[in-house]
Each structure stands twice: as structure tokens, then as C-alpha cells.
Amino acid sequence: MVGHAFMGAAHSHAWRTAGRFFDLPRRLELTAVCGRSEPAVRAAAERYGWESYETDWRKLVERPDIDVVDICTPGDTHAPIALAALAAGKHVLCEKPLANSVAEAEEMTAAAERARADGVRSMVAFNYRRVPALALARELIRQGRIGTVRQVRASYLQDWLVDPEFPLAWRLRKERAGSGALGDLGAHSIDAAQFLTGQRIASVGALLETFVTERPLPAEASGLSGTAGSERGQVTVDDAALFTARFDGGAIGVFEATRFATGHKNAMRIEVSGSAGGLSFDAESLNELGFYDRAEDAGTAGFRRILVTESTHPYLDAWWPPGHLLGYEHTFTHQVRDFVTAVADGADPRPSFAEGLRVQRVLAAVESSAAALGVHIPVPS
Ligand code: SOE
């Protein structure tokens, strides 16, 4: 694994846990973790249970005792690490968004497709696909339980940037992160919308805003927390992104991704309205799915709450008795389970790099539209 901050911690936990709850076709060994600072990566290896560590990812990807490279670094290093790992014949799991640009994502997808011919697999870590409630929503949509999908309402709301003195972390620098709330949060919503509906976003019209354009430079490397130093620097990404979308199957959608939704910490919400019913999800109530069935008697019909904890629900057979809840970390454990199972079966793990590229194209179209003051820009297929 390369990177050991927030996502590195979540992925470490998942690599450690997946084989203990799911019957995996392979035994997992946490062979090595990589980070630039020796003391920090040594501490991470100890804390998360990695057998060894490296300070140069180039050395890591060449190691003969490694089969899988898991990329948990900021976006600017996804492409070089993934390209080197694929060239060295390692299966690759890469954090989202796939890259910082469409050109990088195209190169990564082409490399993944070449490597696939030699049995090497790759996947993008859109972990919300592995929330049992969202996996169930997809099953219900596929079964036709809400009829023809007509509308998607997706918002991803956080508020960790409301304080103008919050430091200029890497997520606020375009050269490191690619974009702001759009790529960090909007990418999840785009993937979830396409995953749930089975339709692809065909065009978008958008608005981006940066409310606080200058912030204190961080005193130390900081993620979602950190202390401010005395110098200041420019914020070069969006704080909030709004866009509308047309899907290729006839649906339309409205999206909001923001780090300025005061009071909301991690509200990844999505609602799908169909001709026969509706579905509604909020990650802050992770174990629940709202379901409205138009066939029910109008006098008593209404959105009802499905508690997604039955052993018949996706992923739940490995966990606790009904009503005993799962959390954010389980989504990463499910991701490892699906990735390892696909790799061992010689199947294609999803979402593929091609699907990650598709999301990247939507992100780019959103930026083009915003630059053109909301003009709808077709997304090339
Ligand atoms: C920060 O905004 C972040 O950690 C994202 O990078 C993750 O993808 C999301 O799951 C939670 O919020």
C-alpha cells in the first residue's frame, strides 16, 4: 500500500479484516506500506500491522514478494504509481478519483487494458458502491421495483472548510488534488448515480465556486485537520460544485458537492425517482434505505425505512445479527473482498479504470461547463 493517512488507515483496516469475516479465495498478507517520511511510515507499519515499509514507491512496486499495489496517495501520484505497478505485473487498487486529468486517466486505462491481457487486474476505489444499502438499491432498481428511472438527486455535503483559517491542505491545491469538492466528493456521487441507474451521464451544465480564495499554509502536512502556519497561499480548487446532468437512458439529475454545507459532516445523499417508486439514501444513516412503492394503497403509502442489516442483504451474511449496525470502515472491507475475489477468479473487478475514466470525463465536462457559465457540454463517450 502506498500512502498511510486517512485512506491508508481505512484500507489497512480492510486488508486486515476482510479475510477474517469473508471466506476469501486467497490468504492476505500485509507485506509492505510506503510513505516518504521514514519515521511516519515506520509508525504506520507498526500501528496498522504491515510487515515492512519502504520510503520510495518505485522500490515497492518492483518487490517480487508483492502481488497487489493499493494506491492511497493524493491524486497527483496515482498515474505514475499505477503505470509502474501495472508494468511490473501487479494488480492495482487505486483511490478515487482515478487521476487528476482525463489525459492521465486515459493513459492509466490503456495500461490497465494492456496488463489485463497478462491476467493483471485493476479497480478504482469508489467505496460507496459497497455500502449494503446502496448495493441493495441497485438490486431493487435492476429488478424494476421503481420502474423507469427518471430523476436522480445527489448531494455530498461536508463543512470542514467553513472556517476561513482552516489551512491550505493538499486537497485545496489543484496540482495535487486535480479539483476540489468536485473531484473529492462529486466523483463519488457521479459513480453512485451511474452505478445505481445503469445509465451514463451524457452531458452536464455546471457552476463552481471558491468562497475562500486564500488560506494559511499548513504548519505540517494536513488532511481533514491540521494547524495553520503564519504564511498564506492561494486556494486553487472549487469549494462547491453544482451541476445538472442528462443521462443516456433518458433520466436527468441534479448534483451538489460542497465542503461548505454548514452542519453536515459526511452527508453523501442520493435519491432516485422512478415511474413505479423511489429510493433514498443518506450516508449519515448508513444502514438505512428509504423505499417508496407506488403500488401500495395511497392512503398508507409513503417512504418506508428498510433497515439494511438482514443476512439476505448484500455483504451482510458475513457480519452481525439483524439490527447490529455496520459503519464506514465496512465499505472498504467489502471493497477488498470484491477485489480479491475477482482477481482470484480471473474476473474483472469493478469499477474498472475505464469506469474511473468515465467519471473523470464527467468531472472535466463539469469544469468546462462552469468555465462556459453553465453551458451544457456533451461528454465524449
Ligand atoms: C474528504 O473529503 C473525504 O475523505 C473524501 O476524500 C473521501 O473520499 C470520502 O469518503 C470522505 O471524505
Task: Show the domains of the chain with their CATH numbers.
Answer: 6-127 (3.40.50.720), 131-340+348-354+356-371 (3.30.360.10)
Q: How far is CA 169 from the centre of its chain?
A: 19
- What average pLDDT does the segment 307-324 reach? 98
For ligand 1, atom 3, the nearest C-alpha belongs to 184
Q: Is 6 in the pocket of ligand 1 (CB under 6 A)?
A: yes
Report residue 115: phi and psi, to 5°. -65, -30
CA 157 to ligand 1 center in whole angstroms: 11
Q: Is 338 in the pocket of ligand 1 (CB under 6 A)?
A: no
pTM of the model: 0.97
Instruction: List, for residues 325-357, the tens digit of each pLDDT value.
Output: 999 999 999 999 999 999 999 999 999 999 999
Pocket test for ligand 1, best of 184, 188, 264, 332 (most atoms within 8 A of CB): 184
CA 182 to ligand 1 center in whole angstroms: 11
Ligand 1 atom closest to residue 184's alpha carbon, by position in its atom list: 6
**Residue 375: Cβ within 10 Å count:** 13
Q: How confident is the model at residue 119 (pLDDT cuts 50, 70, 90)?
A: very high
CA 260 to ligand 1 center in whole angstroms: 14
DSSP codes joined into one string, 190-212: HHHHHHHHS--EEEEEEEEE-S-
Beta strand 228-234 with 214-218 is: antiparallel
Cis preceding-peptide flag for 378 (omega within 30 of 0): no
Question: Residue 115's closest CA among 82, 72, 70?
Answer: 82
CA 104 to ligand 1 center in whole angstroms: 21
Q: Chain-wide mean pLDDT for the chain?
A: 97
For ligand 1, atom 11, the nearest C-alpha belongs to 266
Q: How confident is the model at residue 380 (pLDDT cuts 50, 70, 90)?
A: confident
In three-state secondary structure terms, 146 is coil
Q: Where are the alpha helices (DSSP H) in the chain?
A: 6-21, 38-48, 57-62, 78-87, 102-116, 132-142, 174-177, 181, 187-197, 328-345, 353-371
Q: Is 367 in the pocket of ligand 1 (CB under 6 A)?
A: no
CA gap 336, 164 in Å, rounded: 37
Q: How confident is the model at residue 273 (pLDDT cuts 50, 70, 90)?
A: very high
Pocket test for ligand 1, best of 159, 266, 270, 286 (most atoms within 8 A of CB): 266
Ligand 1 atom closest to residue 95's alpha carbon, by position in its atom list: 8
Ligand 1 atom closest to residue 188's alpha carbon, by position in its atom list: 8
Please say if the pLDDT value at position 13 is more than 90: yes
Residue that the C-alpha cell 483511490 belongs to: 95
Q: How confident is the model at residue 222 (pLDDT cuts 50, 70, 90)?
A: low
